[in-house]
Structure 1
Amino acid sequence: MSTAQLVFQGAWVFVLCGTVLLASVAGTALVVRRHAGDGTMAERPDQLFWDVFLGAAVAIPALLIPTLMAPPAGLLLGLAATAAGIAAYRGAPRLAQWREQRRNARLRLPLHRAAQVQHQELLARWRRYELDPACAIDYPGITDVRLPETSALIRAMRDADLLAGSAHPGYPAAVAALAESLAAAERAAGAASGHARDPEWG
Protein backbone atom coordinates (compact mmCIF):
# COMPACT_ATOMS: atom_id res chain seq x y z
CA MET A 1 0.00 0.00 0.00
CA SER A 2 1.42 3.37 -1.01
CA THR A 3 2.04 6.27 1.37
CA ALA A 4 -0.79 8.28 -0.23
CA GLN A 5 -3.21 5.43 0.36
CA LEU A 6 -2.11 5.12 3.98
CA VAL A 7 -2.59 8.85 4.54
CA PHE A 8 -6.01 8.75 2.89
CA GLN A 9 -7.05 5.73 4.93
CA GLY A 10 -5.82 7.33 8.15
CA ALA A 11 -7.65 10.57 7.40
CA TRP A 12 -10.84 8.66 6.65
CA VAL A 13 -10.60 6.73 9.95
CA PHE A 14 -9.89 9.96 11.82
CA VAL A 15 -12.93 11.71 10.33
CA LEU A 16 -15.24 8.73 10.82
CA CYS A 17 -14.17 7.99 14.37
CA GLY A 18 -14.13 11.67 15.24
CA THR A 19 -17.69 12.13 14.04
CA VAL A 20 -18.90 9.11 15.99
CA LEU A 21 -16.98 10.20 19.10
CA LEU A 22 -18.24 13.77 19.13
CA ALA A 23 -21.81 12.69 18.43
CA SER A 24 -21.80 10.05 21.17
CA VAL A 25 -20.26 12.34 23.80
CA ALA A 26 -22.55 15.25 22.97
CA GLY A 27 -25.58 12.96 22.85
CA THR A 28 -24.69 11.42 26.20
CA ALA A 29 -24.30 14.87 27.76
CA LEU A 30 -27.71 15.93 26.43
CA VAL A 31 -29.38 12.76 27.77
CA VAL A 32 -27.73 13.15 31.17
CA ARG A 33 -28.81 16.79 31.41
CA ARG A 34 -32.37 15.94 30.37
CA HIS A 35 -32.66 13.10 32.86
CA ALA A 36 -31.19 15.32 35.58
CA GLY A 37 -33.81 17.96 34.87
CA ASP A 38 -36.92 15.82 34.53
CA GLY A 39 -36.49 13.88 37.77
CA THR A 40 -35.61 10.56 36.13
CA MET A 41 -32.43 10.19 38.16
CA ALA A 42 -34.30 10.83 41.41
CA GLU A 43 -36.68 8.00 40.56
CA ARG A 44 -33.94 5.72 39.21
CA PRO A 45 -30.56 6.29 40.90
CA ASP A 46 -28.87 3.97 38.42
CA GLN A 47 -29.97 6.04 35.42
CA LEU A 48 -26.75 8.08 35.36
CA PHE A 49 -24.68 4.90 35.24
CA TRP A 50 -26.62 3.51 32.28
CA ASP A 51 -26.56 6.82 30.41
CA VAL A 52 -22.78 7.07 30.76
CA PHE A 53 -22.25 3.34 30.12
CA LEU A 54 -24.17 3.37 26.86
CA GLY A 55 -22.41 6.52 25.70
CA ALA A 56 -19.01 5.12 26.64
CA ALA A 57 -19.73 1.88 24.76
CA VAL A 58 -19.75 3.95 21.58
CA ALA A 59 -17.23 6.65 22.50
CA ILE A 60 -14.38 4.48 23.78
CA PRO A 61 -13.90 2.44 20.58
CA ALA A 62 -14.23 5.60 18.50
CA LEU A 63 -11.42 7.16 20.55
CA LEU A 64 -9.29 4.04 20.88
CA ILE A 65 -8.97 3.27 17.17
CA PRO A 66 -7.41 6.60 16.06
CA THR A 67 -5.32 6.70 19.26
CA LEU A 68 -3.69 3.36 18.37
CA MET A 69 -3.02 4.59 14.84
CA ALA A 70 -1.67 7.99 15.88
CA PRO A 71 -1.51 8.99 19.58
CA PRO A 72 -1.51 12.75 18.81
CA ALA A 73 -4.71 12.30 16.81
CA GLY A 74 -6.29 10.46 19.73
CA LEU A 75 -5.31 13.26 22.10
CA LEU A 76 -6.80 15.83 19.76
CA LEU A 77 -10.03 13.87 19.47
CA GLY A 78 -10.17 13.44 23.24
CA LEU A 79 -9.90 17.19 23.78
CA ALA A 80 -12.52 17.85 21.10
CA ALA A 81 -14.88 15.30 22.63
CA THR A 82 -14.48 16.87 26.07
CA ALA A 83 -15.29 20.29 24.68
CA ALA A 84 -18.29 18.89 22.81
CA GLY A 85 -19.61 17.22 25.94
CA ILE A 86 -19.28 20.39 28.03
CA ALA A 87 -20.90 22.51 25.34
CA ALA A 88 -23.77 20.05 24.92
CA TYR A 89 -24.38 19.83 28.66
CA ARG A 90 -24.41 23.60 29.07
CA GLY A 91 -26.46 24.18 25.94
CA ALA A 92 -29.08 21.52 26.71
CA PRO A 93 -31.58 23.99 28.29
CA ARG A 94 -31.37 26.31 25.30
CA LEU A 95 -31.80 23.38 22.92
CA ALA A 96 -34.82 22.15 24.87
CA GLN A 97 -36.31 25.65 24.83
CA TRP A 98 -35.77 25.93 21.07
CA ARG A 99 -37.43 22.57 20.47
CA GLU A 100 -40.37 23.57 22.67
CA GLN A 101 -40.77 26.80 20.75
CA ARG A 102 -40.75 24.92 17.45
CA ARG A 103 -43.35 22.48 18.75
CA ASN A 104 -45.57 25.28 20.02
CA ALA A 105 -45.25 27.10 16.70
CA ARG A 106 -46.42 23.99 14.83
CA LEU A 107 -49.38 23.64 17.19
CA ARG A 108 -50.30 27.31 16.77
CA LEU A 109 -50.18 27.25 12.98
CA PRO A 110 -53.76 25.91 12.40
CA LEU A 111 -55.12 28.42 14.94
CA HIS A 112 -53.23 31.23 13.25
CA ARG A 113 -54.56 30.31 9.81
CA ALA A 114 -58.13 30.09 11.11
CA ALA A 115 -57.68 33.49 12.75
CA GLN A 116 -56.48 34.96 9.44
CA VAL A 117 -59.64 33.76 7.69
CA GLN A 118 -61.87 35.11 10.45
CA HIS A 119 -59.96 38.40 10.46
CA GLN A 120 -60.62 38.96 6.78
CA GLU A 121 -64.30 38.12 7.23
CA LEU A 122 -64.61 40.62 10.06
CA LEU A 123 -62.88 43.35 8.05
CA ALA A 124 -65.21 42.70 5.11
CA ARG A 125 -68.17 42.89 7.48
CA TRP A 126 -66.93 46.19 8.88
CA ARG A 127 -66.27 47.71 5.45
CA ARG A 128 -69.97 47.34 4.55
CA TYR A 129 -70.78 50.00 7.12
CA GLU A 130 -68.20 52.32 5.58
CA LEU A 131 -68.66 51.61 1.86
CA ASP A 132 -72.36 50.73 1.53
CA PRO A 133 -74.35 53.99 1.48
CA ALA A 134 -77.48 52.25 2.79
CA CYS A 135 -75.57 50.85 5.78
CA ALA A 136 -73.95 54.20 6.48
CA ILE A 137 -77.36 55.93 6.49
CA ASP A 138 -79.20 53.29 8.51
CA TYR A 139 -76.48 52.71 11.10
CA PRO A 140 -74.32 55.85 11.41
CA GLY A 141 -73.40 55.03 14.99
CA ILE A 142 -71.22 52.10 14.03
CA THR A 143 -68.69 54.43 12.41
CA ASP A 144 -68.98 57.13 15.08
CA VAL A 145 -65.85 56.86 17.22
CA ARG A 146 -67.48 59.02 19.89
CA LEU A 147 -69.48 55.98 20.92
CA PRO A 148 -67.55 53.80 23.41
CA GLU A 149 -68.43 50.59 21.55
CA THR A 150 -67.15 51.98 18.25
CA SER A 151 -64.03 53.34 19.92
CA ALA A 152 -63.35 49.91 21.43
CA LEU A 153 -63.90 48.35 18.00
CA ILE A 154 -61.31 50.60 16.41
CA ARG A 155 -58.79 49.71 19.10
CA ALA A 156 -59.48 45.99 18.67
CA MET A 157 -59.12 46.36 14.91
CA ARG A 158 -55.78 48.11 15.34
CA ASP A 159 -54.52 45.45 17.76
CA ALA A 160 -55.45 42.63 15.36
CA ASP A 161 -53.87 44.43 12.40
CA LEU A 162 -50.59 44.88 14.30
CA LEU A 163 -50.31 41.12 14.90
CA ALA A 164 -51.66 39.99 11.53
CA GLY A 165 -48.34 39.97 9.71
CA SER A 166 -46.54 37.73 12.19
CA ALA A 167 -46.91 34.38 13.92
CA HIS A 168 -47.51 36.10 17.24
CA PRO A 169 -49.23 33.74 19.71
CA GLY A 170 -51.65 36.50 20.68
CA TYR A 171 -53.06 36.94 17.18
CA PRO A 172 -55.99 34.47 17.50
CA ALA A 173 -57.03 36.10 20.79
CA ALA A 174 -56.82 39.55 19.17
CA VAL A 175 -59.09 38.40 16.33
CA ALA A 176 -61.55 36.92 18.84
CA ALA A 177 -61.57 40.26 20.69
CA LEU A 178 -62.21 42.02 17.39
CA ALA A 179 -65.21 39.77 16.71
CA GLU A 180 -66.66 40.57 20.13
CA SER A 181 -66.05 44.29 19.69
CA LEU A 182 -67.67 44.33 16.26
CA ALA A 183 -70.73 42.50 17.57
CA ALA A 184 -70.97 44.93 20.50
CA ALA A 185 -70.68 47.94 18.17
CA GLU A 186 -73.39 46.51 15.92
CA ARG A 187 -75.72 46.00 18.86
CA ALA A 188 -75.08 49.51 20.13
CA ALA A 189 -75.81 50.94 16.68
CA GLY A 190 -78.96 48.84 16.27
CA ALA A 191 -77.52 46.72 13.46
CA ALA A 192 -78.06 42.97 13.43
CA SER A 193 -74.73 41.20 12.91
CA GLY A 194 -76.44 38.56 10.80
CA HIS A 195 -77.56 41.24 8.33
CA ALA A 196 -74.02 42.58 8.18
CA ARG A 197 -72.79 39.22 6.96
CA ASP A 198 -75.57 38.75 4.42
CA PRO A 199 -74.34 39.78 0.96
CA GLU A 200 -77.96 40.32 -0.15
CA TRP A 201 -78.65 42.81 2.62
CA GLY A 202 -78.82 46.52 1.87
Structure 2
Amino acid sequence: MHGLLQGAWAVLLCGPVLVASVAATVFVVRRRALVSTGSGATGSAPEGGDQLFWDLFLGACVALPALLIPALVSPWAGLVLAGAAAASGVAAYRGSPRFLAWRNARREERQRLSAHQAAGVRHDELMRRWRRYELDPACSIDYPALTDVRLPETSALIKAMRTADQLRTATHKGYPDAVGSLAASLAAAERAAGIPAGLPAEQAG
Protein backbone atom coordinates (compact mmCIF):
# COMPACT_ATOMS: atom_id res chain seq x y z
CA MET A 1 0.00 0.00 0.00
CA HIS A 2 2.82 2.35 0.91
CA GLY A 3 4.54 1.70 -2.43
CA LEU A 4 1.28 2.36 -4.26
CA LEU A 5 0.90 5.74 -2.56
CA GLN A 6 4.50 6.64 -3.31
CA GLY A 7 4.02 5.70 -6.95
CA ALA A 8 0.84 7.75 -7.16
CA TRP A 9 2.59 10.78 -5.69
CA ALA A 10 5.51 10.30 -8.07
CA VAL A 11 3.14 10.22 -11.04
CA LEU A 12 1.32 13.34 -9.85
CA LEU A 13 4.51 15.27 -9.19
CA CYS A 14 6.66 14.19 -12.11
CA GLY A 15 3.99 13.45 -14.73
CA PRO A 16 3.27 17.06 -15.76
CA VAL A 17 6.98 17.86 -15.93
CA LEU A 18 7.72 14.80 -18.04
CA VAL A 19 4.79 15.29 -20.41
CA ALA A 20 5.52 18.99 -20.86
CA SER A 21 9.25 18.47 -21.46
CA VAL A 22 8.73 15.68 -24.00
CA ALA A 23 6.01 17.60 -25.84
CA ALA A 24 8.10 20.80 -25.88
CA THR A 25 11.20 19.00 -27.13
CA VAL A 26 9.33 17.21 -29.90
CA PHE A 27 7.59 20.43 -30.88
CA VAL A 28 10.84 22.40 -31.08
CA VAL A 29 12.59 19.70 -33.13
CA ARG A 30 9.55 19.29 -35.39
CA ARG A 31 9.26 23.04 -35.90
CA ARG A 32 12.89 23.36 -36.90
CA ALA A 33 12.50 20.50 -39.37
CA LEU A 34 9.37 22.04 -40.91
CA VAL A 35 10.93 25.49 -41.15
CA SER A 36 14.13 24.18 -42.75
CA THR A 37 12.11 22.06 -45.18
CA GLY A 38 9.83 24.96 -46.08
CA SER A 39 12.71 27.37 -46.62
CA GLY A 40 14.77 24.85 -48.56
CA ALA A 41 17.88 25.63 -46.48
CA THR A 42 20.76 23.30 -47.27
CA GLY A 43 23.86 25.27 -46.35
CA SER A 44 23.39 25.25 -42.59
CA ALA A 45 23.56 21.51 -41.91
CA PRO A 46 26.34 21.70 -39.24
CA GLU A 47 24.56 24.47 -37.38
CA GLY A 48 21.28 22.59 -37.67
CA GLY A 49 22.90 19.43 -36.31
CA ASP A 50 24.36 21.28 -33.35
CA GLN A 51 21.04 22.90 -32.60
CA LEU A 52 19.26 19.55 -32.79
CA PHE A 53 21.76 18.06 -30.35
CA TRP A 54 21.24 20.84 -27.83
CA ASP A 55 17.46 20.69 -28.18
CA LEU A 56 17.49 16.97 -27.46
CA PHE A 57 20.08 17.33 -24.70
CA LEU A 58 18.16 20.01 -22.84
CA GLY A 59 14.92 18.10 -23.22
CA ALA A 60 16.56 14.93 -21.91
CA CYS A 61 17.98 16.79 -18.91
CA VAL A 62 14.43 17.48 -17.80
CA ALA A 63 12.61 14.40 -19.07
CA LEU A 64 14.96 11.64 -17.91
CA PRO A 65 15.00 12.59 -14.20
CA ALA A 66 11.22 13.04 -14.32
CA LEU A 67 10.96 9.47 -15.64
CA LEU A 68 13.75 7.66 -13.80
CA ILE A 69 13.02 8.93 -10.29
CA PRO A 70 9.40 7.69 -10.25
CA ALA A 71 10.52 4.43 -11.89
CA LEU A 72 12.95 3.84 -9.03
CA VAL A 73 10.21 4.58 -6.50
CA SER A 74 7.64 2.35 -8.19
CA PRO A 75 8.02 0.30 -11.40
CA TRP A 76 4.36 0.73 -12.31
CA ALA A 77 4.72 4.49 -11.97
CA GLY A 78 7.62 4.37 -14.43
CA LEU A 79 5.52 2.43 -16.91
CA VAL A 80 2.63 4.87 -16.58
CA LEU A 81 4.91 7.84 -17.07
CA ALA A 82 6.69 6.22 -20.00
CA GLY A 83 3.35 5.71 -21.71
CA ALA A 84 2.31 9.29 -20.98
CA ALA A 85 5.62 10.57 -22.35
CA ALA A 86 5.23 8.54 -25.53
CA ALA A 87 1.66 9.75 -25.99
CA SER A 88 2.64 13.39 -25.49
CA GLY A 89 5.50 13.03 -27.97
CA VAL A 90 3.25 11.52 -30.62
CA ALA A 91 0.60 14.18 -30.03
CA ALA A 92 3.18 16.97 -30.29
CA TYR A 93 4.63 15.47 -33.47
CA ARG A 94 1.26 15.16 -35.16
CA GLY A 95 -0.13 18.44 -33.90
CA SER A 96 2.90 20.60 -34.67
CA PRO A 97 2.08 21.25 -38.36
CA ARG A 98 -1.50 22.26 -37.56
CA PHE A 99 -0.42 24.51 -34.70
CA LEU A 100 2.32 26.15 -36.75
CA ALA A 101 -0.08 26.69 -39.66
CA TRP A 102 -2.61 28.26 -37.28
CA ARG A 103 0.05 30.52 -35.75
CA ASN A 104 1.33 31.58 -39.16
CA ALA A 105 -2.21 32.33 -40.27
CA ARG A 106 -2.75 34.49 -37.19
CA ARG A 107 0.49 36.37 -37.81
CA GLU A 108 -0.37 36.92 -41.47
CA GLU A 109 -3.83 38.16 -40.48
CA ARG A 110 -2.32 40.68 -38.06
CA GLN A 111 0.11 41.85 -40.74
CA ARG A 112 -2.71 42.15 -43.25
CA LEU A 113 -4.81 44.22 -40.87
CA SER A 114 -1.84 46.45 -40.09
CA ALA A 115 -1.13 46.95 -43.78
CA HIS A 116 -4.81 47.66 -44.39
CA GLN A 117 -4.88 50.32 -41.67
CA ALA A 118 -1.73 51.97 -42.99
CA ALA A 119 -3.18 51.93 -46.50
CA GLY A 120 -6.36 53.53 -45.15
CA VAL A 121 -4.39 56.42 -43.70
CA ARG A 122 -2.53 56.92 -46.98
CA HIS A 123 -5.78 56.62 -48.91
CA ASP A 124 -7.33 59.44 -46.87
CA GLU A 125 -4.28 61.63 -47.47
CA LEU A 126 -4.46 61.02 -51.22
CA MET A 127 -8.14 61.83 -51.33
CA ARG A 128 -7.61 65.09 -49.44
CA ARG A 129 -4.94 65.93 -51.97
CA TRP A 130 -7.25 65.14 -54.86
CA ARG A 131 -10.24 67.03 -53.45
CA ARG A 132 -8.08 70.14 -53.31
CA TYR A 133 -7.96 70.14 -57.10
CA GLU A 134 -11.66 69.38 -57.37
CA LEU A 135 -13.10 71.73 -54.74
CA ASP A 136 -10.68 74.66 -54.58
CA PRO A 137 -11.72 77.20 -57.24
CA ALA A 138 -8.14 78.43 -57.72
CA CYS A 139 -6.80 74.90 -58.28
CA SER A 140 -9.67 74.08 -60.63
CA ILE A 141 -8.89 77.12 -62.74
CA ASP A 142 -5.11 76.67 -62.77
CA TYR A 143 -5.15 72.91 -63.34
CA PRO A 144 -8.36 71.92 -65.13
CA ALA A 145 -6.72 68.76 -66.44
CA LEU A 146 -7.06 67.16 -62.98
CA THR A 147 -10.85 67.05 -63.42
CA ASP A 148 -10.97 66.38 -67.16
CA VAL A 149 -11.74 62.68 -67.49
CA ARG A 150 -11.15 62.85 -71.23
CA LEU A 151 -7.44 62.86 -70.50
CA PRO A 152 -5.99 59.34 -70.13
CA GLU A 153 -4.08 60.19 -66.93
CA THR A 154 -7.17 61.64 -65.25
CA SER A 155 -9.32 58.76 -66.46
CA ALA A 156 -6.84 56.27 -64.99
CA LEU A 157 -6.86 58.24 -61.74
CA ILE A 158 -10.64 58.03 -61.47
CA LYS A 159 -10.54 54.29 -62.10
CA ALA A 160 -7.83 53.88 -59.45
CA MET A 161 -9.98 55.83 -56.99
CA ARG A 162 -12.98 53.62 -57.67
CA THR A 163 -10.92 50.44 -57.26
CA ALA A 164 -9.38 51.60 -53.98
CA ASP A 165 -12.78 52.58 -52.59
CA GLN A 166 -14.28 49.21 -53.49
CA LEU A 167 -11.43 47.19 -51.96
CA ARG A 168 -11.39 49.31 -48.81
CA THR A 169 -15.04 48.60 -48.12
CA ALA A 170 -14.50 44.86 -48.60
CA THR A 171 -11.32 44.80 -46.44
CA HIS A 172 -9.62 43.11 -49.39
CA LYS A 173 -6.03 41.91 -49.18
CA GLY A 174 -5.29 43.77 -52.41
CA TYR A 175 -6.28 47.10 -50.88
CA PRO A 176 -2.70 48.27 -50.07
CA ASP A 177 -1.66 47.62 -53.68
CA ALA A 178 -4.72 49.49 -54.90
CA VAL A 179 -3.77 52.49 -52.75
CA GLY A 180 -0.26 52.31 -54.18
CA SER A 181 -1.74 52.37 -57.68
CA LEU A 182 -3.90 55.33 -56.68
CA ALA A 183 -0.83 57.23 -55.48
CA ALA A 184 0.99 56.50 -58.74
CA SER A 185 -2.04 57.51 -60.82
CA LEU A 186 -2.46 60.78 -58.92
CA ALA A 187 1.23 61.59 -59.38
CA ALA A 188 0.95 60.81 -63.12
CA ALA A 189 -2.14 63.02 -63.45
CA GLU A 190 -0.36 65.84 -61.62
CA ARG A 191 2.63 65.57 -63.95
CA ALA A 192 0.33 65.63 -66.98
CA ALA A 193 -1.36 68.75 -65.58
CA GLY A 194 2.00 70.48 -65.21
CA ILE A 195 2.18 70.44 -61.41
CA PRO A 196 5.81 70.25 -60.23
CA ALA A 197 6.72 66.96 -58.56
CA GLY A 198 6.51 67.08 -54.76
CA LEU A 199 4.54 70.33 -54.69
CA PRO A 200 1.81 70.17 -52.00
CA ALA A 201 -1.72 70.61 -53.27
CA GLU A 202 -2.26 73.66 -51.04
CA GLN A 203 0.59 75.37 -52.93
CA ALA A 204 -0.44 74.19 -56.36
CA GLY A 205 -2.87 77.05 -56.78
Q: What interval of TM-score do these two structures reach, taking the shorter chain for normalisation?
A: 0.5 to 0.7
Aligned to 2:46: 43
Give the letter for the 1:27 counterpart.
Answer: A
| Distance (Å, rounded) in 2 between the aligned partners of 1:182 and 1:123 | 10
Decide which moves more: 17-26 or 55-64: 55-64
Name the CA shift for 1:21/1:164 in 2 (closer, same or farther; >3 Å): farther
Name the CA shift for 1:25/1:190 in 2 (closer, same or farther; >3 Å): same
- What's the CA shift for 1:141? 3.3
The answer for unaligned runs of 5 or more in structure 1 is 1-5
2:113 paired with 1:123: no
Q: Is the 8 A contact 1:153 1:178 kept in 2?
A: yes
Matches within 5 A, 1:1-202: 14-36=11-33, 37=36, 42-43=45-46, 51-66=55-70, 75-96=79-100, 98=103, 102=107, 115-161=119-165, 162-163=167-168, 168=173, 172-192=176-196, 197-198=201-202, 202=205
The answer for unaligned runs of 5 or more in structure 2 is none
Identity across aligned pairs (percent)?
59
Q: Is the 8 A contact 2:195 2:204 kept in 1?
A: no
| Distance (Å, rounded) in 2 between the aligned partners of 1:79 and 1:183 | 67
CA deviations over 1:36-90 (Å, ceiling 9, x no partner): 4466994376775654444233213223455566766655544443232223223
Name the CA shift for 1:39/1:201 in 2 (closer, same or farther; >3 Å): closer
Aligned to 1:3: none
Give the letter for the 1:102 counterpart.
Answer: R
Give the letter for the 2:107 counterpart.
Answer: R
| Distance (Å, rounded) in 2 between the aligned partners of 1:90 and 1:150 | 56
Name the CA shift for 1:86/1:39 in 2 (closer, same or farther; >3 Å): farther
| Distance (Å, rounded) in 1 between the aligned partners of 2:25 and 2:42 | 17
Name the CA shift for 1:191/1:41 in 2 (closer, same or farther; >3 Å): closer
Decide which moves more: 81-90 or 176-185: 81-90
- TM-score between both structures, scaled by the size of structure 2: 0.63
Q: Which has the higher contact order (CA 8 A, sep 6+)?
A: 2
Name the CA shift for 1:155/1:65 in 2 (closer, same or farther; >3 Å): farther
Alpha-carbon RMSD: 4.4
